[in-house]
Structures are given as structure tokens and as C-alpha cells.
Structure 1
């Protein structure tokens, strides 16, 4: 009986090790990223067909932020809310690390949308920005009309698709996605913003976009 138990435990440990192994990294020689034109995030290697739709929100300084703010810029977008006790602190921490890493890069920006705009007023976002040392020159925390935010989350960034689509249009959006958008407004990558290996992949892909012709 002891021998049988030993082999069962050994088998479980082996399965556990296999499941926890990180995915293989793409080669460092990658020179181009695919386009993501649909909510199933199937990579396509031709020219993009889906651009982020026009938007207009208000940032932590009370300023209007639109597509023009990000025109000609590479940017990383995510969705959060200031009183989130779960994944949002990690998302904010990783956004802050991107802010620090690319502080001298004028053409790389960050954009965080509040999915609880009825709570996250400009004043609340300003306090959150101060607490997390957000620099508005590079990183906008935005609030605005709930329907507009949820519409662009679902139909612009496909933000709640990869981790399980919410069942109803009024359901609360909560996603780990970081979305990489190129200078023309096309989605070029999607990453889990809470996982270190995906953050490393995002970092590599930002540099690919910087050098992509």
C-alpha cells in the first residue's frame, strides 16, 4: 500500500511540474508582430483591419484624452478601478514599471481606463495617481461615460474576451489584459498584466514595434 501511495504522489508531482512550466519564448530575432483584428485574438500577418475606435475620456488632471493624444504613439492600454482589492494593484504596479522603464521614450505611452466611472471621478483618479506616482505626461488614468468605456473595452480592445466574456452587456468588466497598440491604432499584442513572463514578452514586443518598418 505504501508503494502504491508513493507512486501516486510521484505521478502527481510530475504532472504538476509539467503544468507549471512556462511557455517557450519566441526567438530574439523576431522583427514583426501580427495584427489582432477580432475578439478571438487570432494573429494575422497581413495589414490590420481593426483600429481602436474614436474615444474621448477625461484624465486625472481633468483634461480630455482622445485618439489624437495617442496618434503616432505606441501605447499599452488596460482596464482597472481604484478600489479593486484583487488584480488591479498588480496591474498598476506593472504599468508603473513600464512608466519607469520607458520614461525617456517620447513615443511610448500608457492608458488606463476605469471600469467603475461612477466611483472613479477626476478627484479620485488624481489621488490614485499621486499615490502610485503616475506621471500624466506619459500615463493617463481616464474616466467618463460608462457605456462609452464598456463599449470600447468590448468592441475596441476586445478586453474581456480572452479571460471569459461577461454574459450581459451591463455586466462588470474585469480583465487582466494589457493591450499593445501601434502608432496607427492597430492591436499588435495581448498580455496577462499580472504574470512576469508575459510582461517580459510585452517588453520584447514593444522594442519590436519601435524598430518595425
Structure 2
């Protein structure tokens, strides 16, 4: 009986390994998926598909960073960027997210194609002066990592309806319901969502780094 159970366990492990390998091979063959709704269901859509032109994109926006500079759609045009939502007085998940975002900053510090955008969900408190001090304290590099403030309604709208940062709760909730999410959102140079990650988990940064490298290769292929 023990031998039979061991054999069954071995078969189960092999099945899981094959499933994960196939999923990884699919990603390598077809690139990263697209995410078009708050459900974050990955979709691999071919450029020759009628659905390709309907892929969800982040719309125009305009916020102010820690240096008092306007950051908008032109800032990220053609760039790969990671977006998240924080507030400077947060003592729970935000410090860990900031630490993990810094991992990404350090990895791509000399790569002008990669940017980081951290939006404050308490912009009435996190003005430019507060964000500037916070950026200095956390080691945020100007031009690479933008800490953003601005109109609260605009921040909450783009977070919930466009980045799907609050998942279904935020998407279907009231516009002024407080937003507190650990999600990191990876966006490509065409403003399309290509990855969603738990920003409080350091090992997830390895996955983001791999996916950014994949997007960079995708961009190069399109250029060629």
C-alpha cells in the first residue's frame, strides 16, 4: 500500500511539473498575456486577431511628482512601467511595497526604458513637499521613480477603473471608498497591462524583473 501511495505521489508531482512547464513554455512562445478586466484573467491575443485592437489601455492622465513636475501619458510613452498605490503615513503594507519597488529601481537604475509610478491615495495629505521628503527618506531616484499626487477623484478613478488596482471590490465599490491594495501593475509601452503581482512579496520582484526583460525583448522584435 505504501509503495502504491508513493507511486501516486510521484505521478502527481510529475503532472504538476508538466503543467507548470507547459505554462512557462506558452509564455516563452507567445510572450506575456494582456489583462483586460478587474478579474485579471490572462489573455494571449495575437496581433492578427480582431480582439487585438480592443485590448484595454490606460487612458490619459496628469499628476504631479515629488519635484513638482507634471507626469502624464507623454512621460510614459513607449516606456515600460510599474504602477502601485500607497500613502506616506501607511504603516502596514506600504513600507514593504516601497522596499520592493526599490529593488526594481536598483535593478533598472540605468535603463531609461523602465519607470516606476507610485500614486498616493491620500493626496490631500501627501502634497509635493511631503512626497519630496518621503522620496529622500526612501531613496527614490528622480526621473526613475515618480511619487505622484493630484486630484483625489482622478487618482481613485484611474486606480479602480483602469488599473483595476482594487480588484472587484474597488471596481464595483463607491468612488470614494478608501483604496488600499498590494498590487503592482506592469504596463507596456502601448499602455497595456501585462502583469499583476503582490507588491508585498520580495520574490515577486524576481518575476517582475523577468517579465520586464521579456517586454524589452518584445519591443526589440517589433523594432526589427
Tell whether the structures are fold-level matches, with TM greater than 0.5.
yes
- Pair 1:27 & 2:33 matched: no
Query: Deviations 1:46-103 (Å, cap 9, x if unpaired)?
Result: 1361110110000000011101000010000000000000000011111111111101
Please give the alpha-carbon distance, in whole angstroms, between the structure 1 residues aligned to 2:179 and 2:148.
Answer: 15
Deviation at 1:169, TM superposition (A): 2.0
Mapped contact 2:153–2:175 kept (Cα < 8 A): no
- Match among 120, 124, 127 for residue 130 of structure 2: 124
Runs of 4+ in structure 1 off by over 6 angstroms are none
Give matches, 1:117-156, under 5 Å. Answer: 117-156=123-162
Q: Secondary structure at the match of 2:215?
A: helix
Q: TM-score, normalised by structure 1?
A: 0.84
Give the match for residue 77 of structure 2.
71
Alignment partner for residue 90 of structure 2, among 84, 101, 105?
Answer: 84
**CA distance in 2 between partners of 1:60 and 1:196 (Å):** 25
1:208 corresponds in structure 2 to: 214
Find the counterpart in structure 2 of residue 45 from structure 1.
Answer: 44
SS at match of 1:189: strand
Matches of residues 185-204 of structure 1 in structure 2 within 5 Å? Answer: 185-204=191-210
Give 5+ residue unaligned stretches, structure 1.
1-23
C-alpha separation in 1, matches of 2:115 and 2:176: 29
User: Aligned pairs, how many?
Assistant: 189
User: Which has a greater percent of helix?
Assistant: 2
Separation (CA, whole Å) in 2 of partners of 1:140 and 1:79? 12
Structure 2 equivalent of residue 9 of structure 1: none
1:148 counterpart SS class: helix
Q: Which moved more, 1:85-94 or 1:31-40?
A: 31-40
Aligned to 1:4: none
Query: For residues 203 and 62 of structure 1, what CA distance do their matches in structure 2 show?
Result: 29
- For each residue in 1:125-151, what CA deviation from the matched residue of structure 2 results, as whole angstroms up to 9, or x when unmatched? 000000011111111000000000000
TM-score, normalising length from structure 2?
0.80
Instruction: Please give the root-mean-square deviation of Cα atoms over the aligned residues, in Å.
Output: 1.7
Q: 1:123: how far off?
A: 0.2
